[in-house]
């Protein structure tokens, strides 16, 4: 099973700041990696697919990069609605999720 | 409206059974692979299993943690997927989400989830 490790567990930032989230895979997943956003009491929402492609209606401030084992989700300037938990997920070998990174208001 | 709506959650004793439903609308359900993902309170997401479309022989596969206890099925005439859960354990307590694997091969549509609590 491919294990995805996300860091940091919690990121404390202010609105307008840049957020950088990391996801590391235990073995290569090529570019078969997605990022999801989940707000309290809501289902996850697909943000990024295949490492760097924004899903439909996702604002341009969200961007993804990486390949192989190291991936990054960047939020260029945090809006109030961006404070949430973010998960990475790979589909290279079956399906696994990372443990999540909580982006909280500082 | 394109949506998934789960139902059937509730309180069940350890060793008991429960069947969840996922009603789909607004898209071609019969052509879609459907998955179940769960989330224990305050925890991350855990993939449970999936059922493929008729074109792929309704093939199912499950996470090791539920293999042999959970069964996923579907009724395309009712646009509904099911998760039959048997021999439930306290560690199965979670919100269970139904989700669609979209053409991008990622989860592009999710239900709001249904809570399953396994407790005596």
Q: What is the pLDDT of residues A24-45, one digit of tens each?
A: 999 999 999 999 999 999 999 9
| Separation CA B110–CA B22 (nearest Å) | 10
Chain B residues with beta carbon closer than 8 angstroms to that of A100:
44-45
| Residue of B38, B43, B44, B96 best to disrupt the A interface, most CBs of A under 10 A | B44
Chain A residues with beta carbon closer than 8 angstroms to that of B104:
49-50, 55
pLDDT of B108: 95
| Separation CA B49–CA A8 (nearest Å) | 28
Q: In Å, how far from its chain's centre is CA B68?
A: 15
Q: How far is the CA of B80 from the CAs of A15, B3, B110, in angstroms? A: 41, 12, 14
pLDDT of B81: 98
- pLDDT above 90: percentage of residues in chain A: 98
Q: Span A13-34, mean pLDDT?
A: 97
Q: Which residues pair with B39 in a beta bridge?
A: B45, B95
Interface residue B36 vs chain A (CB under 8 A)? no
Rounded mean pLDDT of chain A? 97
Vertex A45, ends B86 and B65: CA angle to 5°? Answer: 25
By C-alpha distance, the chain A residue nearest B104 is A49
Residue of B45, B97, B113 lying closest to A87 (CB–CB): B45
- What is the bridge-based pairing of β-strands B114-118 and B94-101? antiparallel
pLDDT of B18: 98
């Amino acid at each position: 099973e491919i294990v995805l490790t996300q860091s940091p567990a919690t990121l404390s930032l202010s609105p307008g700041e840049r957020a950088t989230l990391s996801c590391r895979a235990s073995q290569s997943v090529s570019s078969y990696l997605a990022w999801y956003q989940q707000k309290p009491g809501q289902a996850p929402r697909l943000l990024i697919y295949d490492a760097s492609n924004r899903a439909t209606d996702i604002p341009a401030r969200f961007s993804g990069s990486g390949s192989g084992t190291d991936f990054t989700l960047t939020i260029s300037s945090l809006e109030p609605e961006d404070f949430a938990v973010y998960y990475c997920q790979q589909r290279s070998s079956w399906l696994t999720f990372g443990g999540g990174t909580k982006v909280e208001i500082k | 409206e394109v949506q998934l709506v789960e139902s059937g959650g509730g309180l069940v004793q350890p060793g008991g059974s429960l069947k969840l439903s996922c009603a789909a609308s607004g898209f071609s359900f019969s052509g879609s692979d459907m998955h179940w993902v769960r989330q224990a309170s305050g925890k991350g997401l855990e993939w449970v299993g999936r059922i493929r479309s008729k074109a792929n022989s309704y093939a199912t596969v499950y996470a090791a943690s539920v293999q042999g206890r959970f069964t996923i099925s579907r009724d395309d005439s009712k646009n509904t997927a099911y998760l039959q859960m048997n021999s439930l354990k306290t560690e199965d307590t979670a919100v269970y989400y139904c989700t669609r694997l979209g053409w991008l091969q990622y989860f592009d549509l999710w239900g709001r989830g249904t809570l399953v609590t396994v407790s005596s």
